[in-house]
Chains A and B, each alone.
Chain A
Amino acid sequence: MHNKRTVIEMRNITKVFPGVRALDNVSFYVKEMQIHALVGENGAGKSTLAKILAGIQNQDHGDILLDGKIIDIHNSRSAQKLGIGMVFQEISLIPTLSVAQNLLLAHEPDLFNIIVNKNRLLSEANIYLSKVGLKIDPNRKLQDLGIAEQQLVALARALSFQPRILILDETTSSLTSKETNHLFSILKTFKSNGGSVIYISHRLNEIFEIADHITVLKDGLLIDSDSVEKFTIDLLVQKMVGQKIKKSVRRNISINNEVLRINNLSLRGLFNDVNMFLKEGEIVGIAGLVGSGRTEIAEAIFGIRSFDTGNIEVYGKSQRKVNPILSIKNRMGFIPENRHLHGLCLGLSIQKNIIMASLKRLFPKGFIFPKQEKETTQRFIEKFSISSQSKSRPVRFLSGGNQQKVVMAKWLCSESKIFIFDEPTRGIDVKSKSEIHQLINQLTISGAGILLISSELPEIISLCDRVYVMKEGKIVAECCGNDIQERNILNYMLGANNEV
């Protein structure tokens, strides 16, 4: 084991995004014939590290060495030439092109560098398709394929560069266990032929099945890197999460006052027959993988997305159709997954952002009184201790944590009583995270009801009184009290075939 050569090494890699240090001085190396697992929570920096290797993002500091020599990976073409192939988390193929065109896009066999040699295109595509064991017509449009097949095409594409290093980012998240086993056998063949694999997955059991070496990242820092024998699942979870998860103090949930009830809500292809309820002073979690329909449910409840059948009861008032205007009148607030996309006006001031959802309520005649506007927002800026040099500066200049507080302040300002949080702490540093958790807890004291969607299980476990688990658009379980445990929820999330 010790005699293997180091193929690729990353030295002191730092990458900064607005508001967060995605990677902080991370050093890491991969040896030949090694399957190297990269684990960590969402936002730990795994994907960023992989994307730097694949040439999609550039590091701010640090060096990358291939066979001991410093290399410059400035775009994906140079990564491909150096023998680094990547399969992305989101499928990054072109659905309107054919399988063969996708497979060899940007390095297709050509005549005079201009015309595509269609016969060789097909025959080469067939070679790589058979390598991943896919028996399909390479002339078919990619969009006509299932997700698992598309993932395999993406893998075949990565293999078509004859890579020495293969990076897989959450490739198995949409595969069944049979398909996953098939993938593993491909990886093992690749490894035995001298290749190295960087394998990113949140399915810890898979990692113990396939990996030789594990590197743990947390909040952009390298926590541990060692061979797989040194880890157990519990140890790994502890390293990923940090301190042991503490359950917060149980609240007094009023038994009767139901604020929100969702009956048989369905939207074809996204979620199906969803029932849930929420009481005053309660925090209810919705757990599930990305694509399980949790975000879509939240959007449908608030009225950003319509739904086919079912109804939504707010304070006992049943509604067949909702929209944001109605939801705000019903004293509902929505803290979206992507605050830059759906939450904030980045170019406007803190004050303008906080007042945003209350403008019509405060000034029903259409005239704005600046003094009243200032006084109203000032209360929330102080209450949330939003720190900024100047209130008139655009919120673009705030840190991620402060930005999220502005979004929360916006909905408090509009006197919301029901809050829907979608990934409230994504991309936020550790200190602000706990501040936001406290704020969420405080909301319930004043009698608010909260729906909390999160892919960070520790967050759900520490905050929630009740948890709905979603899988493939359906609610598969409801956990209360002592049932709310990581292992339990994961079990339901992944389904029976994927026991941890």
Chain B
Amino acid sequence: MRFKKIIRTPGILFIIILILIIGSFISPHFLTLSNFSKILYQSAILLLIASGMTLVITLGEIDLSPGAVLSLSSMITALAMEKGSSVFLSIIVGLATGLICGVINALFIVKAKVPAFITTFGMMSMAKGVSLGLKDGATVRGLNENFTNTIGGNIGPIPVVVLISIFCFIILFVLLAHGKLGPYLFAIGTDKEAAEYSGINVQLYNALPFVITGLLAGVAGILFTARLNLGHPTGGIGYEFEAIAAVVVGGNPLEGGRSNMVDTLLGVFALSILKNSLTMLGYPIWWQMAISGLVLIFALLVPNILKYKLIRIRLGDKQ
């Protein structure tokens, strides 16, 4: 009963099990511990972006910028180190980059009332422009070894990257499930006017998810840099899309109003093992991109088709 309550969409579990079974047929290495730690490692960054994206999607909005912001934060962090800043300062600068991008997004959306998708699409373009422009498209190498060793390293058997990602996820999980943030976002996502009537500070809570997503993209950029041991100007491209896919595949509705962080976690996991099994099959990276596009489109189409069929039956089809 309790278990059922946590996982509201058994469909996603079914998909995960299906991929696991198929994967184990494809390769004997698929169901091994070392492969799983690899999957965990690979999904850490996606989990960060997807957690922030869950909040944004709960509002019924979307954020297309975190992938590009990730790249920008990666470049800035690496550049700061290259210029001789301390590890601590470089990390702060990287975090600030993400935060500032998130705040700019939020200001345009909440104060200037520019639709979220075009604001964040513009931000994606802007962040991409800056991260490419900083070094004329080149990567930044030669980072501080302390940085790559600590953040890129392990604590016991578990990579630090995974720990940080799970830590951020847990904070957001608690905020959404037990904090004020959850009901407020649900309320705004369901009915903005009613939320306003209730006395919720709608502008603030409309802005917060974008700021948090920006900050998490900053964190992700730092982890990314540590993992690859370089600052990459286009490394984050596509993460925003995979994150949206993970949130929706997990069973959170794109039109907002309700969401569950555990669903997102499962979505991230499903997407990651799918990608992992594709790699095992020997498909190159571009096929993975096309396939995650297909996965998202199907994840959106099926519930939408079902939903409108239901409305048609219940209330008479009114546009």
A interface residue numbers (CB < 8 A to B): 54, 56, 75-77, 80, 88, 92-97, 101, 105-108, 110, 113-116, 118, 267-270, 296, 299-300, 304-307
**CB of B187 within 8 A of chain A?**
yes
- B314 in contact with A106 (CB, 8 Å): no
- A307 in contact with B316 (CB, 8 Å): yes
A–B pairs, 30, beta carbons within 8 Å: A56-B197, A75-B196, A76-B197, A76-B198, A88-B197, A92-B197, A94-B183, A94-B190, A94-B194, A94-B198, A95-B190, A97-B183, A105-B183, A105-B187, A106-B198, A106-B199, A110-B180, A113-B180, A114-B179, A115-B174, A116-B180, A118-B178, A267-B315, A267-B316, A270-B316, A296-B316, A299-B318, A300-B316, A304-B318, A305-B317
- A92 in contact with B193 (CB, 8 Å): yes
- Distance in Å from the Cβ of B194 to the closest Cβ of chain A? 4
Interface size, chain B (Cβ < 8 Å): 30
- A92 in contact with B314 (CB, 8 Å): no
- B200 in contact with A268 (CB, 8 Å): no
Residue of B183, B194, B199 near A77 (CB, 8 A) is: B199
B318 nearest CB neighbor, chain A only:
A305
- A269 in contact with B314 (CB, 8 Å): yes
13 extra interface residue pairs, beta carbon distance < 8 Å, beyond A105-B199, A113-B180, A116-B179:
A75-B196, A76-B196, A76-B198, A80-B199, A94-B190, A95-B190, A101-B183, A105-B198, A107-B199, A114-B181, A269-B314, A304-B318, A304-B319
CA distance A107 to B317 in the complex (A): 38
CA distance A95 to B191 in the complex (A): 10
In the complex, which residues of chain B have a beta carbon less than 8 angstroms from the beta carbon of A56? 196-197
In the complex, which residues of chain B have a beta carbon less than 8 angstroms from the beta carbon of A270? 315-316
Find the residue from B175, B184, B197 having the highest chain A CB count within 10 A: B197
**CB of B186 within 8 A of chain A?**
yes
CA distance A385 to B197 in the complex (A): 41
- B314 in contact with A116 (CB, 8 Å): no
In the complex, which residues of chain B have a beta carbon less than 8 angstroms from the beta carbon of A304? 318-319
Find the residue from B174, B187, B319 having the highest chain A CB count within 10 A: B187
**CB of B232 within 8 A of chain A?**
no
In the complex, which residues of chain A have a beta carbon less than 8 angstroms from the beta carbon of B193? 92
Residue of A80, A96, A268 near B258 (CB, 8 A) is: A96
Known contacts A114-B179, A116-B179; A92/B198 CB under 8 A: yes
- Distance in Å from the Cβ of B182 to the closest Cβ of chain A? 8
In the complex, which residues of chain A have a beta carbon less than 8 angstroms from the beta carbon of B318? 299, 304-305
In the complex, which residues of chain A have a beta carbon less than 8 angstroms from the beta carbon of B194? 92-94
- A305 in contact with B316 (CB, 8 Å): yes
Known contacts A94-B194, A96-B257, A269-B314; A114/B201 CB under 8 A: no
- B178 in contact with A115 (CB, 8 Å): yes
**CB of B135 within 8 A of chain A?**
no
CA distance A115 to B183 in the complex (A): 11
In the complex, which residues of chain B have a beta carbon less than 8 angstroms from the beta carbon of A269? 314-315
User: What 1/0 flags go to B157-190 for Cβ under 8 Å of A?
Assistant: 0000000000000000011001111011011001
In the complex, which residues of chain A have a beta carbon less than 8 angstroms from the beta carbon of B179? 114-116
In the complex, which residues of chain B have a beta carbon less than 8 angstroms from the beta carbon of A80? 199
Known contacts A92-B191, A97-B186; A108/B180 CB under 8 A: yes
**CB of B16 within 8 A of chain A?**
no
**CB of B307 within 8 A of chain A?**
no
CA distance A442 to B312 in the complex (A): 38
Majority DSSP secondary structure for residues of A touching B:
loop
CA distance A77 to B199 in the complex (A): 5
In the complex, which residues of chain A have a beta carbon less than 8 angstroms from the beta carbon of B174? 115
**CB of B195 within 8 A of chain A?**
yes
In the complex, which residues of chain A have a beta carbon less than 8 angstroms from the beta carbon of B180? 108, 110, 113-116
CA distance A306 to B317 in the complex (A): 6
- B314 in contact with A268 (CB, 8 Å): yes
CA distance A306 to B313 in the complex (A): 9
CA distance A268 to B316 in the complex (A): 9
In the complex, which residues of chain B have a beta carbon less than 8 angstroms from the beta carbon of A54? 197
In the complex, which residues of chain A have a beta carbon less than 8 angstroms from the beta carbon of B178? 115-116, 118
B258 nearest CB neighbor, chain A only:
A96
Residue of B181, B186, B312 near A94 (CB, 8 A) is: B186
CA distance A320 to B314 in the complex (A): 18
- B197 in contact with A94 (CB, 8 Å): no
In the complex, which residues of chain A have a beta carbon less than 8 angstroms from the beta carbon of B191? 92, 94
CA distance A73 to B195 in the complex (A): 17
In the complex, which residues of chain B have a beta carbon less than 8 angstroms from the beta carbon of A106? 184, 198-200
CA distance A267 to B190 in the complex (A): 26
A114 nearest CB neighbor, chain B only:
B179
B183 nearest CB neighbor, chain A only:
A101
In the complex, which residues of chain B have a beta carbon less than 8 angstroms from the beta carbon of A105? 183-184, 187, 198-200
CA distance A96 to B186 in the complex (A): 8
CA distance A76 to B201 in the complex (A): 10
User: Which chain B residues in 276-319 approach chain A with CB under 8 Å?
Assistant: 312, 314-319
Known contacts A76-B199, A77-B199, A96-B257; A306/B312 CB under 8 A: yes
CA distance A268 to B310 in the complex (A): 13
- Distance in Å from the Cβ of A287 to the closest Cβ of chain B? 22
CA distance A118 to B174 in the complex (A): 13
In the complex, which residues of chain B have a beta carbon less than 8 angstroms from the beta carbon of A96? 186, 190, 257-258
In the complex, which residues of chain A have a beta carbon less than 8 angstroms from the beta carbon of B315? 267, 269-270, 305
CA distance A65 to B178 in the complex (A): 39
In the complex, which residues of chain A have a beta carbon less than 8 angstroms from the beta carbon of B175? 114
CA distance A490 to B314 in the complex (A): 30
- Distance in Å from the Cβ of A56 to the closest Cβ of chain B? 6
In the complex, which residues of chain B have a beta carbon less than 8 angstroms from the beta carbon of A299? 316, 318
B317 nearest CB neighbor, chain A only:
A306
- Distance in Å from the Cβ of B110 to the closest Cβ of chain A? 15
- Distance in Å from the Cβ of B53 to the closest Cβ of chain A? 20
The 9 closest A-B pairs by CB, nearest first: A305-B316, A106-B199, A92-B194, A77-B199, A306-B316, A94-B187, A92-B197, A106-B200, A105-B198
CA distance A300 to B315 in the complex (A): 11
B196 nearest CB neighbor, chain A only:
A76
- Distance in Å from the Cβ of A150 to the closest Cβ of chain B? 12
In the complex, which residues of chain A have a beta carbon less than 8 angstroms from the beta carbon of B187? 94, 97, 105
CA distance A215 to B177 in the complex (A): 46
A51 nearest CB neighbor, chain B only:
B197
- B195 in contact with A94 (CB, 8 Å): yes
A157 nearest CB neighbor, chain B only:
B198
- Distance in Å from the Cβ of B122 to the closest Cβ of chain A? 24
User: What 1/0 flags go to B193-227 for Cβ under 8 Å of A?
Assistant: 11111111100000000000000000000000000
- Distance in Å from the Cβ of B298 to the closest Cβ of chain A? 25
In the complex, which residues of chain B have a beta carbon less than 8 angstroms from the beta carbon of A107? 199
- Distance in Å from the Cβ of A480 to the closest Cβ of chain B? 30
- Distance in Å from the Cβ of A171 to the closest Cβ of chain B? 15
CA distance A278 to B15 in the complex (A): 57
B181 nearest CB neighbor, chain A only:
A114
B319 nearest CB neighbor, chain A only:
A304
- Distance in Å from the Cβ of A65 to the closest Cβ of chain B? 22
CA distance A107 to B201 in the complex (A): 11
CA distance A97 to B180 in the complex (A): 12
- Distance in Å from the Cβ of A266 to the closest Cβ of chain B? 11
- Distance in Å from the Cβ of A207 to the closest Cβ of chain B? 25
In the complex, which residues of chain B have a beta carbon less than 8 angstroms from the beta carbon of A93? 194, 198
